[in-house]
Structures are given as structure tokens and as C-alpha cells.
Amino acid sequence: MNQVPDFYSYTYDELIDAKNKIDKDSNPEQYREIVHLLSIHTPESLKVAKVEAYNEQKYQTLWRRLGALFVDYLLLVGLFNLQALALGIEFDWGNKLLMAWAGIESSIYFVLMHGVLGKTLGKWLFRVQVVDVVSEAKISLWQSLLRESVFLFFSVSSLLMFLFMDIDNHKVWDLTDPIFTSNLILGLLSAGWTIANPITAACSNKARALHDWIGTTVVVRSDLR
């Protein structure tokens, strides 16, 4: 006995080919099944399916973004060391003042790169870019600034504290010391913000981190565009 083909596993082109080749008088039921499947799987429905698959893939950016961030910070660390060398100073990771200034420079880099090009060098390497969440057009400098505003706030606040509050004389663990406590809270909030961004991106259906919600942005794969 001949095995009946599983027409449900056929592609649209294969169904067309089967319809052209089948003897509809000898196999009327199979012919009707093919015609029915062709009515369901039209080129338009296949196009919709492709669009849905594209929309699902283009937001799968979390690991690419983390890789891009790693590359960007490697480049920034190299830049900071070159600046220190040019100024004749040592780039010391323990120097909180230098770290605060490095944070501001990092924010400027991200604001300009995202606002002008839609991507940093790291994002270009990993084929992702930042776009408007509604139109998916290039974002504005204002959106880019909003996106980076919280981290920029922490960096500027740290810089001001180290410049005007003599933090070095308030390092003793004393919660009754308002300057020490303010510095501690700022550090905890900054760390919490840094940790919360990838967590929210992992939990969002479009991998939107907290800064994406603030800037009304989303990161998409540019290799699919």
C-alpha cells in the first residue's frame, strides 16, 4: 500500500508542485487536502510569518549588547590611560576623583555615539543599534542624553562630592557622618542601577533595559535590517 504524503509538512512551493502533478480524479481526497492547505498557506501568510520571525529575532540583543559594552569599556580604558600619559599623571583605579571624571567621559562617549550614529564602536562590532521604540528611526541627541542621564547623574554627583566635600577625610565607617553616608548611598544606588539594567533587559520581551524606558529607545539587531 502506498503511503499517503504528509502534505502538512510541505512548503508552499512543494504544495504547488504536488497540486500540478497529482491526478485529482484518482486521488480526490489528497487533491482537496492540497487545495485546502494552499488556501491557508498563501504567499501573504508566509510573508506575515517571515515578518513575525524577523520581529522576534531583531530584539534578541542581550548578549550582543553585553559584548558591545565590554568592547566599549576596553576602548575607554585605553583612552583614559592615553589621556593620563599625555597629562603626565598615573591612571589609578583607586583614585575616586579620576574614576568620577572617567564616568563623565564615558557618558559623553555614549551620548554622542548613540545620538549621532545610533551605535557605539562596540555595538557596530556586534551588529546592534539604538533606535526609537515607536518608529524605530534613529534616535535624537535628547533621547540619547535621557538614556544616559541616570549614570551621568551618579558620575557628576561623585565628582562634586570629591571636589568639595573632602571625601578622603570621611572614609571611616560612620553612619552618623552625613558625608560618609551620602557617599555610601550614592555608591549603592549606582551599583544597583548598573545591576538592574541587564536584569530588566533580560526580563523584557524587547530586551529593553531601564535606560531604554527612560529614553524611549530599544536596541535592535542591525544585521537583520
- What pLDDT, in 10s, does the model give residues 92-116? 777 777 888 899 999 999 999 999 9
Encode pLDDT of 118-144 as tens digits: 999 999 999 999 999 999 999 999 999
Radius of gyration of the chain (CA): 28
Q: How many C-alpha atoms does 61 have within 13 Å on its Cβ side?
A: 33
The whole-number pLDDT of residue 109 equals: 97
Answer whether 152's CB lies under 8 Å from 90's CB.
no
Highest mean pLDDT among 80-84, 96-100, 128-132, 202-206: 128-132
The whole-number pLDDT of residue 160 equals: 85
Answer whether 126's CB lies under 8 Å from 64's CB.
yes
Amino acid at 101: W
Answer whether 32's CB lies under 8 Å from 55's CB.
no
SS3 220: strand
The whole-number pLDDT of residue 84 equals: 86
The whole-number pLDDT of residue 66 equals: 94
Q: Residue 92 to residues 96, 108, 112: CA-CA distances in angstroms?
A: 9, 21, 26
Q: Mean pLDDT across the chain, nearest whole number?
A: 85
The whole-number pLDDT of residue 182 equals: 81
Q: If you average pLDDT over residues 47-70, what whole number do you get?
A: 82
Say if residue 218's pLDDT is above 90.
yes
Q: Assign 217 a pLDDT band (cuts: 50, 70, 90).
A: very high
The whole-number pLDDT of residue 167 equals: 58
The whole-number pLDDT of residue 1 equals: 46
**Which residues make beta-bridge pairs with 132?**
217
Q: If you average pLDDT over residues 29-47, what whole number do you get?
A: 74
Q: If you average pLDDT over residues 49-60, what whole number do you get?
A: 74
Burial class of 42 by CB neighbour count within 10 A (0 to 12, 13 to 18, 19+): exposed
Answer whether 91's CB lies under 8 Å from 98's CB.
yes
Encode pLDDT of 134-191 as tens digits: 999 999 999 999 999 999 999 998 888 877 766 555 555 666 777 778 878 888 999 9
Q: Which residue has the cell 498563501?
A: 42
Say if residue 195's pLDDT is above 90.
yes
Q: Assign 194 a pLDDT band (cuts: 50, 70, 90).
A: very high
Say if residue 2's pLDDT is above 70.
no
Residue of 126, 102, 154 lying closest to 219 (CA atoms):
126
